[in-house]
Amino acid sequence: MPQNSAETLTAKRKTASRRPAGTLYRGREGMWSWVLHRITGVAIFFFLLVHILDTALVRVSPEAYNAVISQYQTPLMGLGETALVAAIVFHAFNGLRIIAIDFWNAKYQRVLFYVVIGLWVITMIGFAPRHLINVFSH
Amino acid sequence: MTSTIAAPRSPYARAPRKNGVNWEKWGWIYMRVSGVVLVVLIFGHLFVNLLVGEGVSALDFAFVAGKLSNPFWQWWDVSMLWLALIHGGNGMRTLVNDYATTRVARGILKSAILVAVVVLIVLGTLVVFTFDACPAGQPADLLPTFCQAL
């Protein structure tokens, strides 16, 4: 019997570590949305730094601006822009999800994650083909 | 050596400040308010610059000059600049607080973020409001068509 109760205890501990109570941010949808929000946020921040500097070249000369902006029109950068927009759209929709969790109701956080993914897919279906045609047909 | 881990949901060991502005609270509110506005501003920015007409292939000095000679787009872009840089800078500050383990590293990294944000806000704002869409002595084919009427 002591052995049996020790086994039960271990099993209980394992279950407890697999299914933490009272947190949105450990495991499953809550954690992965948090991870993706951080990664996309950092990527967008560093692009923003570069993008302000390249746009500032309009104040230098038309030639300087055109020389740099033409780098954004290559096939490789076209794929990069698609990834950037994918990151922005996820960060935007998941940010709205965070606001809904904070001000409305946290118990819908899991279903809202799938709403975010669904809206992200629909938005990217609207964006990616048109953008890639613009990039690859020029 | 043993270390004691406080029970969950026990109060902070360091007593919260009773007076003064709660900056962390206002930072938390700022992220949500600016986030909602940025969704509108950035989705609009991406739609006009990447989806209308030939998208990214049509971007050049003449395109940007056409937009930035309109006060509507000047204020649109300056709002995006300020809201996005402060939102991004505050987000990066959160990551530094979470992942930089020493006080010195946190100080250096947060100072670098602050410098980058301030320099780019000043630069971007000056560019938008001192911009000349028809700079003298430049080839006419690089300028917006309305410059020919001048």
pLDDT in tens, B14-35: 666 777 888 999 999 999 999 9
**B113 located within any domain:** yes
d(CA B90, CA B110): 9
Contacts of A99 in chain B (CB under 8 A): 32, 35-36
In a domain, B24, yes or no: no
Work out the burial of residue A55: count CB atoms within 10 Å of its CB; fewer than 13 is exposed, 13-18 middle, 19 or more buried.
buried
Higher pLDDT, A86 or A18: A86
Q: Give the pLDDT score at B75.
A: 97
Q: What is the pLDDT of residues B94-138, one digit of tens each?
A: 999 999 999 999 999 999 999 999 999 999 999 999 998 888 888
Residue B131 within a domain: yes
Residue B134 falls inside a structural domain: yes
Task: Inspect the interface and report whether the beta carbons of B46 and A88 lie closer than 8 Å.
Answer: yes
Please give the interface size between A and B, counted as residue pairs whose CB atoms are below 8 Å apart: 109
Tell if the CB–CB gap between A96 and B39 is shorter than 8 Å: yes
Residue A45: how many other CB atoms lie within 10 Å? 20
Domain range A25-136, CATH class: mainly alpha
Q: Global pTM?
A: 0.84
Q: Please report the pLDDT score of residue A1 as a whole number.
A: 41
Is residue B71 one of the residues assigned to a domain?
A: yes
**Which one of B28, B43, B56 would you mutate to disrupt binding with A, by most A Cβ within 10 Å of its Cβ?**
B56
- Asked whether residue B10 is domain-assigned, the answer is no
By CB neighbour count within 10 A (0-12 exposed, 13-18 middle, 19+ buried), where does B29 fall? exposed
Per CB-CB distance under 8 Å, the chain B contacts of A42 are 91-92, 95
Contact status, residue A88 vs residue A40, Cβ threshold 8 Å: yes
ipTM above 0.95, yes or no: no
Cα–Cα distances (Å) from B77 to A101, B44, B45, B71, in that order, read 30, 11, 8, 10
Centroid of chain to Cα B56: 21
Note the residue count of chain A. 138
Q: How confident is the model at residue A2 (pLDDT cuts 50, 70, 90)?
A: very low
pLDDT band per the 50, 70, 90 thresholds, residue A25: low
Furthest CA-CA distance within chain B: 81
The three-class DSSP label of residue A110 is helix
A61–B138 CB contact, under 8 Å: yes
Q: A-chain residues within 8 Å CB-CB of B88?
A: 41, 44-45, 48
- pLDDT at residue B1 in the model: 55
Contacts of B131 in chain A (CB under 8 A): 58-59
Chain B residues 19-48 with a CB less than 8 Å from chain A: 32, 35-36, 38-39, 42-43, 46
CA distance A48 to B91: 13
Residues B5-20, mean pLDDT to the nearest whole number: 71
B74 lies in which domain range?
A: 60-149
- If one counts the domains in chain B, the total is 1
